[in-house]
């Protein structure tokens, strides 16, 4: 698969700094655990980095931006499309969370809800195979934008040793692995997956990806049924270590992030935080948890927070 060049990432990072597109690194009660608050970015996720880079580098030949997404990528595309008065079609799975559906409509995106199996068939094609018909989640311009996060962390916390990243489709993990390698000689990569549904861990253990049922959970972003072969071959070179967390631990993490730090996050970010706490408790190294997004539906959030709100 195509990865961005160092010069492309550094150029995008410099531009984002000029534009004020950045998130903070927040200290926690654990002296060696830090939070990268990507949930605070426009659209509520890190996806805005990739989409903004895409629009900067690509002038679509057609009027409609059609994006394959589980929600957050489509929202970022809708936000950037609306700035440019371009129509956006969000190709999303049936059963998309209400908050993402509502926010997409706020930015005038047309929703095309299709069965997950159909969406997954499209995602399984490479960006080159799909051509200009769709914005693929692994488009190299998107990966370039995501990789700027690693350079930003290096600037904010030069002494960090490890990143803990939630694993969805793998674009974020691969981008941060590649971005971290630009200026640092060694960064440990920990990947958060859900106990009982860990396609990356299974692939690493078996030496190849294998299919599994899609995770049925409020943790939408971590529900993919398999690791794409191209992502696996690229990511395994960075020797990531998978940390498993349960759904109940993830709920506790979401509750703790809100009560202790005033941060509202979705399931993938909660899983990343819990995994990072486990890592930080076993080392003195500086560990950064990537809080990838904050688009959690109100009903789910209220059930998790409960009477503590």
Beta bridge partners of 293: 45
Q: Which of 110, 133, 156 is the last residue of a domain?
A: 133
Among 139-148, 180-189, 259-268, which stretch is predicted with the lowest mean pLDDT?
180-189
145-177 confidence digits (pLDDT tens): 999 999 999 999 999 999 999 999 999 999 999
For residue 68, give the 3-state DSSP assignment: strand
pTM for this predicted structure? 0.94
Q: Which of 133, 164, 196 is the last residue of a domain?
A: 133
Evaluate whether residue 72 is within a structural domain.
Answer: yes
What is the count of structural domains for the chain?
2
Question: How many CB atoms lie under 10 A from the CB of residue 260?
Answer: 10
Evaluate whether residue 200 is within a structural domain.
Answer: yes
* pLDDT of residue 307 exceeding 70: no
Same domain as 166, residue 236: yes
Supply the pLDDT for residue 185: 66
Supply the pLDDT for residue 46: 97
What's the chain's length in residues? 309
Q: For residue 56, what is the domain's CATH number?
A: 3.40.50.1100
With b meaning 16 or more CB within 10 Å and e meaning fewer, what string describes 70-93? Answer: bbbbbbbbbbbbeeeebebbbbbb
Same domain as 282, residue 151: yes
Evaluate whether residue 1 is within a structural domain.
Answer: no
Same domain as 251, residue 162: yes
Q: How far is CA 77 from CA 48, 136, 165, 216, in A?
A: 7, 11, 22, 25
Evaluate whether residue 293 is within a structural domain.
Answer: yes
Q: Print the domain residue range for 33.
A: 6-42+143-308
Whole-number percent of the chain with pLDDT over 70: 97
């Amino acid at each position: 698969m195509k990865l961005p060049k160092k010069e492309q990432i550094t150029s995008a990072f410099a531009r984002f700094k000029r534009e004020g597109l950045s998130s903070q690194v927040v200290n926690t009660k654990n002296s060696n655990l830090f939070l990268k608050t990507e949930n605070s970015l426009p659209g509520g996720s890190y996806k805005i980095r990739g989409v903004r880079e895409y629009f900067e580098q690509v002038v679509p030949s057609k009027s409609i931006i059609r994006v394959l997404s589980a929600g957050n990528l489509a929202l970022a595309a809708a936000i950037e499309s609306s700035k440019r008065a371009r129509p956006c079609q969000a190709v999303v799975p049936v059963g998309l969370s209400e908050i993402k559906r509502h926010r997409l409509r706020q930015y005038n995106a047309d929703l095309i809800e299709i069965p997950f199996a159909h969406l997954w068939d499209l995602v399984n094609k490479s960006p080159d195979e799909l051509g200009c018909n769709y914005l693929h989640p692994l488009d190299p311009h998107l990966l370039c934008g995501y990789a700027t996060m690693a350079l930003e962390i290096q600037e904010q916390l030069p002494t960090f040793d490890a990143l803990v990243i939630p694993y969805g489709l793998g674009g974020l993990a691969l981008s941060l692995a590649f971005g971290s390698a630009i200026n640092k000689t060694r960064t440990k990569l920990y990947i958060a997956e859900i106990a009982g549904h860990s396609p990356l861990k299974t692939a690493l253990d078996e030496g190849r990806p294998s299919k599994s049922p899609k995770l049925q959970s409020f943790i939408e972003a971590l529900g993919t049924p398999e690791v794409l072969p191209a992502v696996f071959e690229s990511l395994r070179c960075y020797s990531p270590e998978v940390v498993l967390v349960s759904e109940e631990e993830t709920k506790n993490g979401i509750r703790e992030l809100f009560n202790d730090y005033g941060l509202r996050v979705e399931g993938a970010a909660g899983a990343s935080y819990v995994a990072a706490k486990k890592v930080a408790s076993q080392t003195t190294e500086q560990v950064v948890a990537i809080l990838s997004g904050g688009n959690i539906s109100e009903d789910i959030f209220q059930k998790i927070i409960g009477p503590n709100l």
